[in-house]
Structure 1
Amino acid sequence: MIRLAEERDIQSILKVTKSCAKFMISNGVFQWNDDYPNKSAFQNDIKRNELYVLELDDGIKGCIVISTLMDSEYIPIEWLTKNENNIYIHRLAVHPQLQGKGYAQQLMHFAEQFAIDNNYSSIRLDTFSKNKRNQKFYELRGYKRLGDIYFPKQSEFPFHCYEQVL
């Protein structure tokens, strides 16, 4: 089940994202670290009603942020649509023990259906340039790579920006 996250979910969400960070780092992908994603980011997501969790029988196993807020880092990108009716995907995570079972696909389908149901013009996101698995995941879903941005607190390497027009 995918549902809106609540404050009481934060510790479980952090367990998932910390496990993902550790898993990525062990595979040479330095996308997430001890500083990101963090509790305050998830608290802000909850306040904005933009954080959703994947809940299975034994607890929270994934999350996704579906936001209407365009981060300032995205301003230089030449997007395919106007900057007025878009959603942004952030912090998509599935516990490493459950990866490869279609749960990330479910979370993305949920976000895409949310965008369609609410008449957004596109979905935008970024993924780490060294995370080839994520790039393939989004490209197979029809997202177009448009340019690069940087998050110096996370990595010296760029993050690729993607958009899918609805």
Structure 2
Amino acid sequence: MIIRPATHSDVDRMDEICEAAKVAMRNMGIDQWQDGYPNRACWEADVDDGFAYVAETDEGTVTGMFALVTNAETRDPEPSYGKIDGSWLTPKANYAAVHRVGVAPEAKGQGIAGMMLDFACNKAAQMGSASVRIDTHADNKPMQRTLQKAGFISCGVITLAEGNDAGEPRIAFEKLV
């Protein structure tokens, strides 16, 4: 398994994995990713911005994807993380944010999400971040378990500041890197 920057030739597969994740969450009664986001345009923008990564088997099959968002200039790559009902581990430190984590249905249970999160944390540390932050829906228990297993700490609740779900609460996690 390798994790590498995504290219535009990966976007079809990323979108396919994303659509499968939407169906799986809907079937579990999780109201996350049910409003058209994320979509192909998100993945294209993530590739253009250098934020998109994929997990690929030795045979060349993309089995997972995520976005690692950093912004060294503002030290605050995620507008939704400016205010939290709780407390960040590193309230004033430079951090990276992980978004849009997805694993192909046929690859679930193989630790791919954990590998991608480990990669994101290592990459963020190399880029000078003190921590990695991520959020998820309160009903998304599988993702919460994955984050806790990967060493992320629940820090409280944030309110999404942008997009189709603006105003919606999310459980926020952080890991020191």
TM (normalized to structure 2)?
0.84
> Partner residue of 2:33?
32
TM-score normalised by structure 1 residue count: 0.89
2:66 to 61, 64, 67: 64
- 1:73 aligns with 80
Listed one character per residue, the Cα deviations across residues 46-68 of structure 1 (whole Å, up to 9, x for unaligned) are 12111001122252221011111
Q: Which residue in the other structure is 2:148 paired with? A: 139
User: What is the identity, as a one-letter code, of the residue corresponding to 1:22?
Assistant: V
Q: Deviations over 1:24-48 (max 9, x none)?
A: 1111112112511112211221121
Distance in 2 (CA, whole Å) between partners of 1:96 and 1:114 is 26
Matched with 1:161 is 172
State the SS of the aligned residue for 1:110. helix
Post-superposition CA distance 1:97-130 (Å, at most 9, x none): 2111111111111112212333310010101100
Unaligned runs of 5+ in 2: 72-76
Question: 2:121–2:131: 8 Å Cα contact kept in structure 1?
Answer: no
| Whole-angstrom CA distance in 2 between matches of 1:34 and 1:153 | 7
Residue number in structure 2 paired with 1:41 = 42
Deviation at 1:83, TM superposition (A): 4.2
How many residue pairs match? The answer is: 166
Identity fraction in percent: 28
For 2:19, the equivalent position in structure 1 comes to 18
Deviates more, 1:143-152 or 1:82-91: 143-152
- Give, in angstroms, the shift of residue 158 of structure 1: 2.5
Alpha-carbon distance change, 123 to 92 in structure 1, aligned in 2, over 3 angstroms:
same
Give 1:84-123 correspondences, 5 Å limit. Answer: 84-123=93-132
